Structure 1
Amino acid sequence: MARFVGREHELEALDRLLAHAHNGTGSIAALAGEPGIGKTRTAEIVAERAERQGMRAFWGRCNEEPGAPPYWPWQQLVRSWIAAHDEDSINRALAGGVAPLAEIVPDLADRLPEPLRDRAVAAPSTEVAQARFRLFDAVNTFWQRAAQQHPLLLVLDNLHWADASSLRLLEFLAPDLAGSRILLLVTYRDVELSRQHPLSATLGELARQPHFERLRLGGLSHAETAHMMHLAGGATFAAALVDAIHVQTEGNPLFIGEMTRLLAQEGSAAGTSRALRIPEGIKEVIGRRLNRLSASTNKVLTAAAVIGRAFEFRLLTALADDIDEDACSAAIDEALQARVVEALREPGHYHFAHALFRETLYDEIPVPRRSRLHLKLARAIEMICGDDLEPHLPALAHHHWAALPGGDAAQAVDYAQRAARRADCQLAHEESARYCQMALQAMDVGTGLPRETRCSLLNALGTAHSRAGDWLQAMQTFKEAARLSAEYGNTKELAHAALGFETASWSPGLPGGPAAELLREALAAQTSADPVMNARLLSALARALIFSGEEEQAIRVHEQAIAVARTAGDPATLADTLVATVSLRWQQERIAERIAASDEAYELARQAGDRILMCATRAWHLFDDFELGDMAAWRANLEEYEHGGETLRLPFIRYTASMSRAMHALFEGRFADAERLIPRAYEIARRMPGMDAAGAYSVQMFTLRREQGRLHEVAPLVEHFVQHTSAMDVWQPGIALMHVELGQMDAARKKFDALADSDFRAIARDGVWVANLTYLAIVCHALGDAARAVTLYQLLAPSSGRNLLFGTAIASFGAADAILGALSATVGDLPRAQQHFEAALAMNERQGARPALVRTRLYFAQMLLRRGEPGDLEHATRLQNAAREEAAALGMTSVVACIDAASALAQTAAMEHYPAGLSRRETQVLRLVAQGKGNRQIARELFVSPNTVANHVSSILSKTHSANRAEAAAFAIRHALL
């Protein structure tokens, strides 16, 4: 370990990161480069330096062969940490996270102190995305607590070989490392990364972290090459030979070292390049080094290469059964002497000195012989580990698959299926998908295998894709499963395919038409003998119909689903159906039905002891309480909901609760709290596959910046987001509102006219329908579009007396009556507008909705100023002053500016003098009379009622001593009022 050359710059950077981690500021560092460039060796030097500074270093090495268990590098890290600590330390680090960690380290219980073993049991069943979050969160918490005891260096070596599930776990942990005493060091080959390689996406995620640093290792300099040759060969080489080797190896340390050893073996240490042909590549050097070993040693090492870079002696002897144990041992001794193989700490375990030794040997095996060796190895594993094959399923699946086409296809399918199920239990969905694909490939090779197996394999593959958040791939797979199941008459697999397709389509918010078609096909194939499956299919169909805009049909189907679930006689099925279909009652007029359904589901879940389902039903009460403005009940239910989430460690509950807290902060005008809470909710959702983290985050930030008068800061980002998201149509009403807020009235009008076509039928009647109509109602009022205001009023009228919500827990506009009042004023129905405004003022003040209260006062004041009846000016002034004071206190700068501008305009108007004692409003009416307009036309133009105009005209005639409208018009002309 003492022989090390170069890398001063990289070690200096890593020393700095070690010091930061020691002081509580963690980071991620990556050592990248070509094979043999010294990534692992540099990491070993960093580990030595870390331990000298009082840190603890632990390694997780990724296997190049794909037969390793899921999360293999993380298993190694956890196991080695536990092996190095006493019972008290382990207890502090694990705390309540033993059960989740047991999912990722199956033999964890055997490694724990006695008091902790009983807690290393399977975690309670939860929805899959939440279960995986719970697992990842437990691993994250474990390392955070472990680092509180000692600062840590965690090394993930050869990350380019990591399974995709391990990479997802790394992405999950990355954001929290900055606040820990952990330096996470990864090494990987960058020359092997295509855009499709799983590591490419992970590196993109890591690069987003401000505490990520990438160091690319290049070749050694000429002087460093000479120094390394001297250390490796124990002699001084001729300058010309050093020159030639430096040029040929491009400073690759492994190439230099192996070339120097080859020279030493061939007696050419003092020679020159003229007397020696220097190999063109590192594998040729390795090949020549291997050729200097005996034939029996090469044969044993070839067998070892089939096992992998690391291998066990007893498995090696079983594989090389034509060589006796003594000869096998002698071959290993020769390989150790030649530094081709290295002994590991565990007796009887070895690995190749570098992965390139294993790769070179493996690549030289002819394909037919390679297949036979893989099959032989699989048989050896079965023989040696026959009593407990479960931990070895990944290796058995790989070797039986690699043995094809000469191997046993049926066994390859069986082991791949079992490995996939095991990966599912460990929440390694990407690995599960890989094993399902291996099983399908094995079916293509084999003959006489049951064709129904392909249907179940496709459904399992689709489920794995779906659980990993790969929705489009999942939909394609489920569609193929449905096609084959229908062709084979397999109604069970057809139902599973249809259900899987619907889940994969609605999770990312895609249209539900294709899912509805598949579900109808599955329902038509079912019999009435399975009410549980029929209830599930009907529930899914109802949701698909909602996502395809068929609301009335969806309601009929969902009522049928509940009726079927009641006949099943299973409380859990009925509770699931009620919860699955409660979202179909999102309409304002159906809130009583929604509450009744969620109450019934809660009681059923309570009787069944299903705490997870109890929490799911409690969520709907939260939304209803907020919509009804019962904030005391909302707070009480939220505390109960959060407590259930913490007890069960369910991330979706944490996300919903965090988002609800952010919404409430916006609702009350606690913008500083919102700035902190919104990103927190986003971080939770971002780590859960299938969550619309960006969408909900964007709406909450849009709401916050609008209230703060800072929309101009995010307008370009919003436009870019809308142009590059599949939910472009959903955002159009918000874009129209943004144009209004920024004073871009022409753009707002263009967008509004497009969306208002056919009485707003283009606005999808989904969970954000009310929010989109609210956005458009605000735009409509700003544009003064009386005709469209009538339609919008009719659509939003059922919300009177309630709060308007964006979604269920994203944002709230406050009392709906404020928006209904603004629409009434736009139409010119001022008495109704006043009733709505007074109701909105009372509700917003009662529930502490301060931003909504500001806007309600402003709407009301504007209406009073337009009406101009006795006392309206004073009332409007009081409302404006109160609105300005509140807006200034909250930091609603654009609202303050708007009020100040209106006040300045009012002061200018107050300084104007009109003849005959006419008021400003009467002068406005007289000008329109002089233009020949009737009372209804004037009413529409001034946003007042015809009765109000008639009153103004009567007053004008009296003050100007005019007998009729013509004389009044003449008065206007004489006094230059036109």
Structure 2
Amino acid sequence: MLGPVETRSVSPVFVGRTDELDTLNDALARARAGEPQALLLGGEAGVGKTRLVEEFAAAAARHAVVAVGGCVEIGADGLPFAPFSTALRALRDALPERFAAAASGQVEELARLLPDLGEAGAGRHDEQGTARLFELTARLLERVAAEQPVVFVLEDLHWADASTRHLLAYLFRTLRAGRLLVLASYRSDDIHRRHPLRPLLAELDRLRTVRRIELARFTREEVARQIAGILAAEPDPARVDEIFERSDGNAFFVEELAVAGCDGRCAGLTDSLRDLLLVRVEALPESAQRVARIVAEGGSTVEYRLIAAVTGLGEDDLIEALRAAVGANILTVTPAGDGYRFRHSLVREAVSDDLLPGERSRLNRRYAEAVEADPTLVPADARVMRLASYWYHAHDAAKALPAVLDASVVARRRHAYTEQLGLLERAMELWDSVPEEVRSALRPVDYTEVYPPCGCDPATTALRPLDLMAEAAVAGRFGGERERALKITKRALRLLEDEPDPQRAAWFWIQRSRLVQALGRGDGWHELATAQDLVRGLPPSEVHAEVLARAANWSMLHRPGPEALAAAERAVEYARMVGAREIELHARLTLGCLTVDSGDPDTGLAQMRQVLQDTLAEGLRQMAGRAYVNLPSELQSVGLDREAAPLLREGIAFARAHGLLDSEARMWCNLSEAHLALGQWPKAAEAAAHAARGGHGAQPRGAGALHLADLALARGDLAEAGRHLAAARAHFGTHDPMPQHFLPLARVTLGIAAEEGRVADARAVLLQALDAGFPPGTHRYGWPLLLAAAGAEADTRTLPAARPGRAEVLDRLSETVRTLTTGAPLWQAYDQWTRAELLRAQGRDTAELWSPVVTAFECLDRPYDLARVRRRLAAALLAEADGDDGARDRAVELLRLSGAVAAHLGARPLADAVTRLAQRARLTLTRVPSQALTSADPAAALGLTSRERDVLRLVSAGRTNRQIAGELFISPKTASVHVSNILSKLGVSGRGEAAALAHRMGLFPAEPAPAPTAG
């Protein structure tokens, strides 16, 4: 507005910072090469962070798009995501077409960060809402920076709101691709022990992908060069010494002292920092000083028209005052040219601190009145937050309460739940100071989305403190501020002791249950049981249905059985009666899981498939995410891993597209388990690593670590298995024991102890699990544990140290085996296997016993398990052979197949066991299995399924995976999976070898040539 103004205090010469610039330029070079970079720039106030960023950005602009956003100090009162909004706006303006393409399909969600994109989606809020927004933002930046390098700068993190800090942390943790450099700066001397940025810096320090730069003060030589730049002449050495000593090398203080000396104002200047910062302000004309005081209280940046409205000065007088402040280098024009800000925040803070208490509240009132009179004075996306801040600091409770509530609604819309919680807490603080007539005009429907039942219409009933507490409790849970949310629920329940309302109290007990579980304070059952007691006997309601649905879901995870099934059925019935669709779908999904686990998989799986279909059709993404987790999990529970795997990949794509991070992590866990079962161990490890990523919740990280422990144990790396097991235990904790966690943990613990020869430790783990029992529905995790224990007892049968107590252990194992469900082929196979191991532990197993076990697993897609039981059958055959060449030949074939699978998977303990058995029996395992060569159906003898036989026929004909997929109407990826399984079962290393073996075995005799037709 005033045009370029000549300044004398800023040196035109950029001084020092060579090492820091080298670090930034190196990061830019890596980013341009496709390796995303994350950097933190810290330094005390005035040390030169902004100047360094400006120099780097100016040079970087030759190779990249530079987008800069700054935190504003008013962020303490709102303006969530302010620096991201500003930087994203700059990025969109620089690359409009690429930005639009990258945001395609997600505009409604991204509008929460960048309101310019349009109206934010009005969908229901949930616990994954913030994570969803964060994931979409990270992927947006990666897509925009896929080809064009982008430097994304966020300044003044010490003022950042909680939502900005959380989004930055997520971005730094999850950057995976793109030519992107993210640089964030902060004032290190402001980061006191309780500053909210401090934990974030500590967290980011642990990330190897984040580089941290600490900007030091200038040396004496650098101070001399800075002064020379300011004066355009070599300074007097004595003057340099004096300024260096007084400034201690702080670049901003050097400027102030140098200018003070030039203006003859050095005499009488005290060593007080405040005096040093105010000395040039106090030298301004009175009108300019007044304008400076007004701008200091308006925020980090204040619009020109707003300044004019608050000062009340005529345009000429205002321009003259502003010109004086800009000419003295106190104020500077904003880059957009529509407002002003202090050139340095230290000066603004000093001016603001110099205001009298009454003066500060009066200025805030004038700001608020000006914005209310003309809302166009401030940008639309900042208006509500600015009003809330101005009225609150004006100490006008009657005006501040509605403004703060309006701001809380805006924060909720932007998924800035921590800021929403703070604003609601501020509203509760103001509540008693507001006249009754103002409070009675407020309506819950205008300010809250959570309506605990009160038998009233929220559109006509006055807002109550309990309504604010309900909204605040949910905001705290969504925003991760669980401790604050828990305190609010306790306060609400104390109020409800004086004003009994069973349904409202039950609602708060539900919230308390969820918070207690999330905080690791317990399993949440006491709170749920209390809620059940409160609604028992009341007419059906949405709260009643939710209590039943939550109780059923809790029981499914902790104590599955008939009672859980009955609770789920009642929850579905009640939800339908009151039209609570989401609760109904939630309960139906739980009911489907419990139905499968109760031994009726066909009915349960059909119910779950219908829920998935309904949630997708109705756009209920959160519920669809849960269905994509639970349906494949139940398919896996009955051995249908091959059917579950593509559904999980579909679910992962869905979850990623819609930012359902927790659901995605759980799907990666299930996919890892599927790959483990199907013998695709590298893929299993990759999926487990995805689940164990730091950005996910504790439970998926624990499950991912547990799958990695499983893999390490099967590969014989006990140290690695122990490390992953410890990580899994830490993630799961001890506050909320679930069978799906503690039974697999017990199995791996027992397996490690058995492999290390610690018989007593292995038995202790088993007996603890047996004492806890295996309720109906826990067989999925119980069978593998019982099998591992029976196998361990059999392996130690001949050890003298293992004899004491063996009989009791075997008796208890046998007794438990009789109680577990066998309602699916997989569990029937596990039942047979475990019983065979128990007889082996007594020295009574036979080939006749093991043969049906092998047959059972040949019908299942579990190559590793099949290899293990084939080895057991081979051992039994060799023990009984007694010169029977046929039995020895069959044992050779079984061991060869078992060894081939072990080698392919890298299962060293199994491979070693096969080798030892063959060596003891003096067997050679390198020839083609004679059973396969002589069998009437050699493909079946090798364990090939009918589909694998079709694929092998096409492999033998020289078809590629894509050609195989086309002929068999499957995907190329599925064809590739089949080929890998075939190579494992044949014990060959490549397609050519597989084709040659198929030819030798006569699997696919040449078809006769067609008869010639008459010409």
2:512 to 478, 501, 507: 501
Residue 25 (1) aligns with residue 25 (2): no
- SS of the equivalent of 1:107 reads helix
Residue 361 (1) aligns with residue 351 (2): yes
Contact kept, 8 Å, 1:29 with 1:185, in 2: the verdict is yes
1:532 to 529, 535, 542: 542
**Deviations 1:106-131, CA, capped at 9 Å, x for gaps:** 1224xxxxxxxxxxx54473663444
Residue 513 (1) aligns with residue 525 (2): yes
Contact kept, 8 Å, 2:528 with 2:547, in 1: the verdict is no
Q: How does 1:285-434 map to 2 (within 5 A)?
A: 285-321=276-312, 323-385=313-375, 391-404=382-395, 407-408=396-397, 410-434=398-422
- Distance in 1 of aligned mates of 2:500 and 2:144: 55
- Distance in 2 of aligned mates of 1:257 and 1:816: 82
- Distance in 2 of aligned mates of 1:126 and 1:819: 48
- SS of the equivalent of 1:128 reads coil
- Distance in 2 of aligned mates of 1:226 and 1:721: 58
In the TM superposition, what is the alpha-carbon distance from 1:600 to its structure 2 partner?
5.4
In the TM superposition, what is the alpha-carbon distance from 1:281 to its structure 2 partner?
4.9
Distance 1:72 1:643, change over 3 A: closer
Match for residue 681 of structure 2?
671
Distance 1:858 1:397, change over 3 A: farther
Contact kept, 8 Å, 2:679 with 2:862, in 1: the verdict is yes
- Distance in 2 of aligned mates of 1:607 and 1:99: 19
Match for residue 117 of structure 1?
none
Q: Give the letter aligned to residue 906 of structure 2.
A: G
- SS of the equivalent of 1:227 reads helix
- SS of the equivalent of 2:183 reads strand
Q: Give the letter aligned to residue 558 of structure 1.
A: A
**Deviations 1:339-368, CA, capped at 9 Å, x for gaps:** 010011334401100111111111122334
Residue 818 (1) aligns with residue 833 (2): yes
Gapped regions of structure 2 (runs ≥ 5): 1-10, 441-461, 795-805, 924-1015
**Deviations 1:291-311, CA, capped at 9 Å, x for gaps:** 212333222211211111211
**Deviations 1:258-278, CA, capped at 9 Å, x for gaps:** 11111122265xxxxxxx566
Distance 1:74 1:695, change over 3 A: same
Match for residue 255 of structure 1?
253
- Distance in 2 of aligned mates of 1:30 and 1:349: 29
1:180 to 165, 178, 186: 178
- Distance in 1 of aligned mates of 2:428 and 2:851: 67
Contact kept, 8 Å, 2:596 with 2:602, in 1: the verdict is no
Residue 778 (1) aligns with residue 776 (2): no
**Deviations 1:384-406, CA, capped at 9 Å, x for gaps:** 218997742222222233333xx
Distance 1:834 1:782, change over 3 A: farther
Aligned CA-pair RMSD: 3.7
Q: Give the letter aligned to residue 343 of structure 1.
A: V
Match for residue 788 of structure 1?
809
Match for residue 904 of structure 2?
889
Q: How does 1:279-290 map to 2 (within 5 A)?
A: 279-290=270-281
Moved more, 57-66 or 428-437: 428-437
Contact kept, 8 Å, 1:737 with 1:779, in 2: the verdict is no
Match for residue 707 of structure 1?
714
Contact kept, 8 Å, 1:64 with 1:161, in 2: the verdict is yes
Q: How does 1:459-478 map to 2 (within 5 A)?
A: 459-478=470-489
Q: Give the letter aligned to residue 513 of structure 1.
A: W
Residue 48 (1) aligns with residue 58 (2): yes
Q: Give the letter aligned to residue 687 of structure 1.
A: G
In the TM superposition, what is the alpha-carbon distance from 1:750 to its structure 2 partner?
3.1
In the TM superposition, what is the alpha-carbon distance from 1:17 to its structure 2 partner?
1.5
Residue 489 (1) aligns with residue 500 (2): yes
Distance 1:582 1:277, change over 3 A: farther
Q: How many equivalent residue pairs?
A: 869
1:135 to 130, 133, 136: 133
- Distance in 2 of aligned mates of 1:632 and 1:583: 19
Q: Give the letter aligned to residue 326 of structure 2.
A: L
Q: Give the letter aligned to residue 318 of structure 2.
A: C
Contact kept, 8 Å, 1:62 with 1:162, in 2: the verdict is yes
**Deviations 1:408-460, CA, capped at 9 Å, x for gaps:** 2x443332232222222211222222222222222365565579732222222
Distance 1:226 1:497, change over 3 A: same
Contact kept, 8 Å, 1:755 with 1:763, in 2: the verdict is no
Match for residue 973 of structure 1?
none
- SS of the equivalent of 2:340 reads strand
- Distance in 2 of aligned mates of 1:669 and 1:710: 18
Distance 1:354 1:763, change over 3 A: farther
Moved more, 731-740 or 427-436: 731-740
- Distance in 2 of aligned mates of 1:200 and 1:241: 38
- Distance in 1 of aligned mates of 2:204 and 2:262: 44
- Distance in 2 of aligned mates of 1:57 and 1:545: 53
Distance 1:125 1:16, change over 3 A: same
In the TM superposition, what is the alpha-carbon distance from 1:743 to its structure 2 partner?
5.0
- Distance in 1 of aligned mates of 2:83 and 2:381: 19
**Deviations 1:314-343, CA, capped at 9 Å, x for gaps:** 22233334x554433322111101101001
Contact kept, 8 Å, 1:225 with 1:256, in 2: the verdict is yes
Distance 1:569 1:96, change over 3 A: closer
In the TM superposition, what is the alpha-carbon distance from 1:713 to its structure 2 partner?
2.6
- SS of the equivalent of 1:594 reads helix
Match for residue 457 of structure 2?
none
Distance 1:217 1:618, change over 3 A: closer
- SS of the equivalent of 1:350 reads strand
Distance 1:838 1:598, change over 3 A: farther
Gapped regions of structure 1 (runs ≥ 5): 110-120, 269-275, 806-812, 909-978
In the TM superposition, what is the alpha-carbon distance from 1:241 to its structure 2 partner?
2.9
TM-score normalised by L of structure 1? 0.80
**Deviations 1:946-969, CA, capped at 9 Å, x for gaps:** xxxxxxxxxxxxxxxxxxxxxxxx
Moved more, 331-340 or 747-756: 747-756
Match for residue 217 of structure 1?
215
Q: How does 1:89-168 map to 2 (within 5 A)?
A: 89-109=98-118, 122-123=120-121, 125=123, 128-168=126-166
- SS of the equivalent of 2:46 reads coil
- Distance in 2 of aligned mates of 1:542 and 1:822: 36
Contact kept, 8 Å, 2:596 with 2:603, in 1: the verdict is no
Residue 191 (1) aligns with residue 189 (2): yes
- SS of the equivalent of 2:15 reads coil
Q: How does 1:686-701 map to 2 (within 5 A)?
A: 686-688=694-696, 690=697, 692-701=699-708
- SS of the equivalent of 2:733 reads coil
Contact kept, 8 Å, 2:725 with 2:749, in 1: the verdict is no
Quote the sequence identity (%).
Answer: 22
- Distance in 2 of aligned mates of 1:748 and 1:486: 55
**Deviations 1:770-793, CA, capped at 9 Å, x for gaps:** 426633541343135453344445
In the TM superposition, what is the alpha-carbon distance from 1:571 to its structure 2 partner?
5.5
TM-score normalised by L of structure 2? 0.77
Q: Give the letter aligned to residue 837 of structure 2.
A: A
Contact kept, 8 Å, 1:627 with 1:803, in 2: the verdict is no
- Distance in 2 of aligned mates of 1:800 and 1:503: 34
Residue 719 (1) aligns with residue 741 (2): no
- Distance in 1 of aligned mates of 2:255 and 2:778: 65
